[in-house]
Amino acid sequence: MPDLADGVARFQQDVFPAKADLFAHLAAHHTPHTLFIGCSDARVVPELITQGEPGELFVIRTAGNLVPAYSPGANGVTASIEYAVAVLGVSDIVVCGHSACGAMTALAESHDLSGAPVVADWLRHADAAMARTAGMAAGPRKTAALARQNVYAQLANLATHPSVARALAEDRVTLHGWVFDIATGRLERLDAAGTGPALAS
């Protein structure tokens, strides 16, 4: 905790003054251009990866970068998606998976999650990705393939949300799939149709 307090002090002393005009503007304006849906993993930091400024990304982070398919009723993920698309009017949505994902590793290697029943239930949102990699032997190759297939599956789930479906039909939003490699910093961009990598950078 002392490290966090020191970080806040450095932010207030060094970072904030250099961006005071930006924060003054942001105090009255909230117009992010991108909804970024990533994993809760502490090693994957959207603002660092994209080198974005405050106010540019509306971020949702969930275990395994999972997006439940739409169902009636309130939940935090659905409400955040709807707010970003219908209220803030983001023009792009990124679903970003990553290497060495604990959620994907647990699924690929059939870890015993009996001690974490809520996690086990949450990971069912990756069932479509699991089905697409069912023939592969457990190991790093399967985990990597599952991370990619999971991005495709979550993009499909995302499109079931009414706010997203409307925005897609009206050509107001574009979906993007990314996979970030922690060890190298490389970013693989997947084509939203699910047919394979579009490019790596």
* Beta carbons of 39 and 98 less than 8 angstroms apart: yes
Q: Is 96 a catalytic residue?
A: no
* Beta carbons of 130 and 178 less than 8 angstroms apart: no
Catalytic entry in 10, 25, 30, 43: 43
Q: Is 111 a catalytic residue?
A: no
Catalytic entry in 41, 125, 161, 176: 41
Catalytic entry in 96, 101, 125, 176: 101
Catalytic entry in 6, 14, 29, 39: 39
Q: Is 41 a catalytic residue?
A: yes
Q: Is 101 a catalytic residue?
A: yes
Active site residues: 39, 41, 43, 98, 101
